[in-house]
Amino acid sequence: MAKGTPKPEELISSIDYNPPKTGWTETPVNFAEGTFCHGARPSYLETVGFPNAREWAPADEDWKLPENWKEIFIEAMGERLKKYRSFQLFMDICVRCGACADKCHFYIGTGDPKNMPVLRAELLRSVYRKYFTAAGKILGKNAGARELTIDVLKELWYYYYQCTECRRCSVFCPYGIDQAEITMIVREIFNLLGLNTDWIAGPVANCYKKGNHLGLEPHTITSNLEYLLDDIEDITGIRIEPTFNRKGAEILFVTPSGDLFGDPGTYTAMGYLMLFHELGLDYTWSTYASEGGNFGFFTSMDMAKRLNYKIYAEAKRLGVKWILGGECGHMWRVLNQYMDTWNGPADFMQEPVSPITGTRFENAKSTKMVHITEFTADLIKHGKLKFDPSRNDHLNVTFHDSCNTARGMGIFEEPRYIINTVCNNFQEMADDAIREKTFCCGSGSGLNAGENMEIRMRGGFPRANAVKKVKEKFGVNMLANICAIDRAVLPPLMDYWVGGVSVCGVHELMANALIMTGEKKRTQDLRLEDLPNVEEDPETEEGKEETA
Amino acid sequence: MGIFFSFFMVIMIALIAYLGVAVANLHMLFGIIIPYAAFTAFVVGFLMKVVKWGRSPVPFHIPTTCGQQMSLPWINYSKLDNPSCTSGVVSRMILEVFCFRSLFRNLKTGLQDGNISYGSDKWLWLAGLAFHYSFAVVVVRHLRFFMEPVPALINIIDSLDGFLQITAPHFLLSGGVLLLAAGYLFFRRVSNPQVRYISLPADYFPLFLIIGIALSGILMRYVAKVDIIQVKQFTISLVSLQMSVPEGIGVIFFIHLFLICTLLIYFPFSKLMHMGGIFLSPTRNLANDSRIRRHVNPWNPEVKVHTYAAYEDEFREKMKGAGIPVEKE
């Protein structure tokens, strides 16, 4: 935990849902330490050709903006009002009913009224009225219009980098107004002024040049995977030999690079490797398209398209039939809602068919990209895999729906079906905190830096609190999910608010239970921790091994 | 601030109508010219706005998915909240427009002893529904003034509306419900600290305006009664374009009419356009089928990409060292 982050009790007691006495236009923004990210270093912006690359810090008085920053902002806003029906509509039709107000995790965790989605949008709508509506031009303040000053710009920046684009507000809005859509557009405009954050710009530059956010070079990817293969061999006695950039493979596999690098994502990656080996799948990894996640999505649509381009380009170069995608949150929002539009049509591939079960994935017939939980659920349904769920008996699992796969895709049953097959102990969190009502981890959309830990803990409070309740009630000790950002940021969130709850991907649980052909008797799980029940009842274990 | 500003605006509007008719005798202006102008402004303004929205592109396919996606055949998917086809989208929109389905989900979030609690909160949904439906009935009911003979359907609605058969003329429920619901929405706006904090004059003004219209209408029907025959003669003359200057109808009628005209003129330029906008919301009116059918962005820009060739040029030796196949040796 970063230095200076308040203790949980202090943090909770500071939450006050009563708005301040001063109206929101008269309440200045407070750049409090721990609540915002560092400004992007110039080299990152230069790598991808973003404007106004310079050293700057958000807490500075002078942001070193271009002289005509205001014109740039207003002009870019006008352009986007014309290009996006969503943006124009969402500026025009909000009735300020407040149904979204207490649905945002940042509002629940801070009590700051500017974190109510309606008010976050009003920060911008006031500018919209001033420059784009007759009433605002004539009536000014009485029509809710506001001049775009440097203070207003800073306020917008602060709060639009305090929105994780999770879309929970949009579920409850009677008109479907989606703050994420507004946030994405405003961040595009900030980008034109060089107002990006380091933690977003870094992965973008890395991904553009090297293929993945972490900047892993090709030989580093293969050697990283070697470590995982060694562990798998220790655990199962099976040596797996995956291929890279192999032409003519049937399937290209793309997953977020976080799965290759940091725990507990690496355990999920081990799960993929073991599953594909067991199936004898004709697939390949790519070092060029070695990233499913897309931090470009947090800067501009064009940048996201530039990064996403590599997936189809690589599929075409390698001549694969279709693409399989790993467990990731915003990667899947991007793939589900944007990829085909940006970089399609993917007519050089074939409609995805599982080579094991023959199932046609009709819901992916245009993008040609299948989610791994769809793929695995189908295998299980057809009885193609053998499991020993008791190997997960030391785990009492709950499932966190990631915002993007929940509200930008609707993938709810597939991961649950897998978990219920491979685990004996599964508990749902409260209905109001799962599925489309799920809460963000508090660190999505590029907020997973170290310097903004306080706001991350505040934003993740609703998620953590729901986990805490199932921990107390059922003894839950494992939080499963299908998102690499979740696997990176939920562990510190759990440590801070809950304690004693680990975090894993669904395919880690699957691989723990997977009985592989020719495997040795397993005594350890993928984390190299001793399996339960192994010593107690060795005979049953052996019996199982024989049937495998 | 916004409350008083909006309140006095509405009082002023009522006063203008009173002075204009009772003192300055401008019957022609308030009875004919302004109503025609207001009606034109409403229709043209409304259409222009909807056309403007409708013509703007939907570059990306962004439905908010509130239920299970359509995937494997043995998994039940949510046709209504995560539709994969047009019929599902239409059903979702019908439920949205007629039942306020999203608002029905509303929750109240609280903090108690360090724990977050969630509770169902359907009052806004209920009041919103009551408000809109009673308003709709009032509007339909008023068509009797513009039609001769009165269609049977309107008579049926009218008699259903007044089925309690109390007072004379019989009390029409819709007017009362409209007033109550609008009153509740106002009460909620001022009593809920969060909602009060976000409220603008533009939120209070239309509420006061509608309350003013309902009140003047109710007064006219039950208290300061106007000559209903004359009113009808006048309204018929308006629709048949044979304008006759209305004289002798009580001034309250002109206040009622002027408030309505204000609402009509205000409508296209305000948040009240959510009435037209809801149909066009891309998060609600699209099917979640973007992996099935390609969605085309009409202004899809060319972007600079980092090609595989450039990547291999940079890493060729390292790739060869790691045994990764390369295109050029």
CB contact burial A208-227 (16+ within 10 A = b; e otherwise): bbbbbbbebbbbbbbebbee
* CA of residue A548 relative to chain centroid, distance: 36
Cis peptide before B169 (omega within 30 of 0): yes
* CA of residue A389 relative to chain centroid, distance: 28
pLDDT of residue B245: 72
Chain B residue with CA closest to A436: the answer is: B66
pLDDT of residue A2: 61
CB contact burial A3-19 (16+ within 10 A = b; e otherwise): eebeebeebbeebebeb
Closest C-alpha to A505, from A386, A400, A421: A400
Provide the mean pLDDT of chain A.
Answer: 95
pLDDT band at B224 (very low <50, low <70, confident <90, very high): confident
pLDDT of residue B198: 96
Give helix then strand counts, H and E, for chain B: 14, 2
Please judge whether B201 and A410 are an interchain contact, meaning their C-beta atoms are less than 8 angstroms apart.
no
Chain A residue with CA closest to B309: the answer is: A288
Where is A79: in which H helix or E strand?
A: helix A69-83
pTM (predicted TM-score)? 0.95
Please judge whether A365 and B292 are an interchain contact, meaning their C-beta atoms are less than 8 angstroms apart.
yes
- Residue A436 in contact with partner chain B when CB distance is under 8 A: yes
Q: Where are the beta strands (DSSP E) in A369-448?
A: 369-371, 397-400, 426-427
* CA of residue A191 relative to chain centroid, distance: 21
Closest C-alpha to A209, from A447, A43, A446: A43
- The pair of structure tokens assigned to A89 is 């509509």
pLDDT band at A547 (very low <50, low <70, confident <90, very high): very low
SS3 of residue A285 by DSSP: strand
Please tell me the distance from the alpha carbon of residue A214 to that of residue A221, in angstroms, as a whole number: 10
Please judge whether A94 and B274 are an interchain contact, meaning their C-beta atoms are less than 8 angstroms apart.
yes
CB A302: neighbour CB atoms within 10 A? 16
Q: Which of B1, B64, B189 would you mutate first to test chain A, the one with the most A CBs within 10 A?
A: B64
- Residue A319 in contact with partner chain B when CB distance is under 8 A: no
- The pair of structure tokens assigned to B247 is 């004289």
What's the mean pLDDT in B144-168? 83
pLDDT above 70 for A240: yes
DSSP symbols for B70-120: S-STTS---TTTS-SSHHHHHHHHHHHHHH-HHHHT-EEEEEETTEEEEEE
What's the mean pLDDT in B176-187? 96
Q: Which of A17, A181, A245 sits opposite B325 (nearest CB)?
A: A245
Chain A residue with CA closest to B297: the answer is: A341
Residue carrying structure tokens 């330490």:
A33
What's the mean pLDDT in B66-78? 97
pLDDT tens-digit map of A121-140:
999 999 999 999 998 999 88
DSSP symbols for B222-241: IIS---HHHHHHHHHHHHTT
Q: Which of B59, B102, B197 sits opposite A176 (nearest CB)?
A: B102
Q: Are A399 and A481 in contact (CB under 8 A)?
A: yes
Please judge whether A113 and B288 are an interchain contact, meaning their C-beta atoms are less than 8 angstroms apart.
no
Q: Are A481 and A328 in contact (CB under 8 A)?
A: no
Please judge whether A96 and B304 are an interchain contact, meaning their C-beta atoms are less than 8 angstroms apart.
no
pLDDT band at A548 (very low <50, low <70, confident <90, very high): very low
Q: What is the longest distance spanned by two Cα atoms in chain A?
A: 84
pLDDT above 60 for A108: yes
Q: Which of A12, A128, A172, A429 would you mutate first to test chain B, the one with the most B CBs within 10 A?
A: A172
Residue carrying structure tokens 């595989």:
B308
Range list of H helices, B143-283: 152-161, 173-191, 193-198, 201-218, 228-239, 251-266, 274-277
pLDDT of residue B3: 92
ipTM (interface pTM): 0.95
Chain B residues touching residue A287 (CB < 8 angstroms): 315, 319, 324
Chain B residues touching residue A84 (CB < 8 angstroms): 56-59
Provide CB contacts within 8 A for A438, sequence distance 6+. Answer: A168, A400, A401, A402, A403, A406, A407, A463
pLDDT tens-digit map of B293-311:
999 999 999 999 999 999 9
Closest C-alpha to A419, from A385, A377, A383: A377
pLDDT band at B226 (very low <50, low <70, confident <90, very high): confident
SS3 of residue A185 by DSSP: helix
pLDDT tens-digit map of A510-519:
999 999 999 9
Provide CB contacts within 8 A for A261, sequence distance 6+. Answer: A214, A216, A224
Chain B residues touching residue A99 (CB < 8 angstroms): 102-103, 106, 124
pLDDT band at A543 (very low <50, low <70, confident <90, very high): very low
Please judge whether B69 and A410 are an interchain contact, meaning their C-beta atoms are less than 8 angstroms apart.
yes
Provide CB contacts within 8 A for A115, sequence distance 6+. Answer: A104, A106, A107, A159, A162
* Of A291 and A533, the one with more pLDDT: A291
pLDDT tens-digit map of A441-457:
999 999 999 999 999 99
pLDDT of residue A546: 45
pLDDT of residue B171: 81
**Residue B253 to chain A, least CA–CA distance (Å):** 29
Task: Please give the share of chain A, as a percent, with pLDDT higher than 70.
Answer: 97
pLDDT band at A533 (very low <50, low <70, confident <90, very high): confident
